[in-house]
Structure 1
């Protein structure tokens, strides 16, 4: 089946899995049902084909603003699936699955923009891979922080029904958030270091904003991890710094691509 047909199929499977998962949540089931696993697994397989097909093309790798969206969400979903083996992150699927459905459609049917050479040195491969997975893990951290914020607010105002009943205890939710942050910062560190080692000039005019914002994000996440370890920062402080770091990282990646590729038409 061609990617043009698989993309709508993947999107429909993701939406069906989301609907079934929401039904399970409404019945206060705290684990993924077999139906959600089957639908989600099938969607993920179709998604993988679409992502690989979208970034591979004549003349090089298509890692432009539109085409990379499916690859990014594939990395996010794979990371979430791996972490689900030991942490209850299934509530994040309600956010990830609909966005993944949109990403496969955009990636398949949107126009090409940036194209880079297929003949990448190993160092650049490490840089690109670590950047993608750092963004994936820190996206999960941002989504987790949003749930922590809602849960903390509800508990402070003594609301014990609704979403609070569906989530693990707040302390465990915060623990999962910081685990994601540690892993994300490690990958982001690898991305920045390999960028300095293997990219010709990270502070060239077309890269300076991406580099600067990536470093700002790394500093924000690192300060949060230091503050948590040394000063006991948690809850809303952790949420605010996590979201600030994620916004900086999102602007570094997608913001720079938006300006260069879609506004200035540069690659």
Structure 2
């Protein structure tokens, strides 16, 4: 069923978070008011995630995974807006946040089974955190490319940050995401049977994860040795992020929605 019954608390938190996320995109709010709206949305979103994952009937799937990823992106934005007050609130982040919250409300995923290992939540946390860091890197890369294009056309950049700062932040997030992704893959390879109760195998999720890891490794090596930047680096970043998105979110979407199968 596409829209299962939701608790009044979960429904209220979801609607509050979606409305607060959408506020900066719906009208021309002053920068301070826009940041406060995003902060309110982030807090309500975090409470909603905690209610969904730690409540009496915890559930998880492709939509909650996207929701957690967007929440992490909003968290990074909240921190960056304090470090870089000139950073502007992006309507795209507002729409993405509202969409992710509502999507998780319609598709809450499958009920979580008893964990085969006490380390399984940590394994999941590493993987979702890498999702979030790469998503932040993609956002910064898009801002970087837009700023570069405007500079080429002798127009004033509207990102609120210098081009070199955006580039530096992009690769910092890529590096951090790569470290967490490496730890996630290594844990899955060495302790898959202890984590999930089954022997390690080449599933679709594993194949796409390893391919994305390889793309990010090439990107970081190219950056360090050959100084790759601009569109050359961005193409690899977008490719790796797309493969990583297919690894978990894509495979779970096919299983849950297209095939209608229950997943562990």
> Which category describes the TM-score, using the shorter chain as reference length?
0.7 to 0.9
Whether contact under 8 Å (2:62, 2:248) holds in the other structure is no
Q: For structure 2, which runs of at least 5 residues remain unmatched after alignment?
A: 1-7, 194-198
Tell me, in whole angstroms, the C-alpha distance in 1 between the residues paired with 2:151 and 2:163: 9
User: Among 4, 7, 10, which residue is 1:3 paired with?
Assistant: 10
- Distance change in 2, residues 1:80/1:198 (3 Å): farther
Deviation of 1:87 after TM superposition, in Å, equals 5.3
Residue 55 of structure 1, aligned match among 53, 65, 77:
53
1:96 corresponds to 2:96: no
| Partner of residue 163, structure 2 | 170
SS of the residue 2:63 aligns to: coil
1:137 is matched with 133
Counterparts of 1:169 and 1:225, CA distance in 2 = 22
TM-score, normalised to structure 1, is 0.83
Q: Could you tell me how far apart the structure 2 residues matched to 1:159 and 1:18 are?
A: 27
Match of 2:32 among 28, 31, 34: 34
* Count of residues in correspondence between the two structures: 250
Q: Check conservation: 1:6, 1:50, Cα contact below 8 A.
A: yes
The alpha-carbon deviation at position 185 of structure 1 amounts to 0.6
- Asked if the contact 1:83–1:89 (Cα under 8 Å) also holds between the matched residues in 2, the reply is no
| Structure-2 separation of matches of 1:231 and 1:48 | 40
1:155-199 superposed Cα distances (whole Å, 9 cap, x missing partner) = 23x2314xx144422222111111111111111111111122332
**How far apart are the structure 2 equivalents of 1:53 and 1:235?**
41
2:5: which partner in 1? Answer: none
1:218 corresponds to 2:213: yes
SS at match of 1:2: helix
On the 8 A contact 1:66/1:112 being kept in 2, the answer is yes
Partner Cα separation in structure 1 for residue 189 and residue 89 of structure 2: 33
Deviation at 1:233, TM superposition (A): 0.7
Report 1:6-155 matches (<5 A).
Answer: 6-19=13-26, 23-24=29-30, 33-56=31-54, 58=56, 61-86=58-83, 90-91=87-88, 93-108=90-105, 110-119=106-115, 121-155=117-151
Alpha-carbon RMSD: 2.4
Instruction: Tell me if the contact between 2:18 and 2:99 (Cα under 8 Å) persists in the aligned partners.
Output: yes
Q: Secondary structure at the match of 1:160?
A: coil
Q: Following TM superposition, by how much is the alpha carbon of 1:125 offset from its aligned partner in structure 2, in angstroms?
A: 1.7
Q: Which runs of 5+ in 1 are unaligned?
A: 25-32
